[in-house]
Amino acid sequence: MDKETADKMRGMIRRSVLKNVRDDGETQRCSVEVADGIWRDDVEILQPFGFASSVPEDGALAIVLSVGSDEGDLVVLPVANPSKRMGGLKPGEVGMYNGHGDKMVMKAGGAIEMGSGASITLKSAAGHLE
Q: Please tell me the predicted confidence (pLDDT) of residue 45.
A: 92
**Alpha-carbon distance 48 to 9, whole Å?**
26
Say what the pLDDT of residue 130 is.
Answer: 56
Residue 63 has pLDDT above 90, yes or no: yes
Give the pLDDT mean for 93-116: 89
Domains along the sequence of the chain with CATH: 3-82 (2.40.50), 86-130 (no CATH)
Output the CA–CA distances (angstroms, integers) from residue 105 to 18, 71, 101, in the order listed: 27, 38, 12
pLDDT mean across residues, the chain: 86
Q: What is the pLDDT of residue 42?
A: 95
Q: Is the overall model pTM greater than 0.75, yes or no?
A: no
Q: Is the pLDDT of residue 25 over 80?
A: yes
Phi–psi pair at 11, nearest 5 degrees: -80, -5
Residue 40 in contact with residue 11, Cβ under 8 Å? no
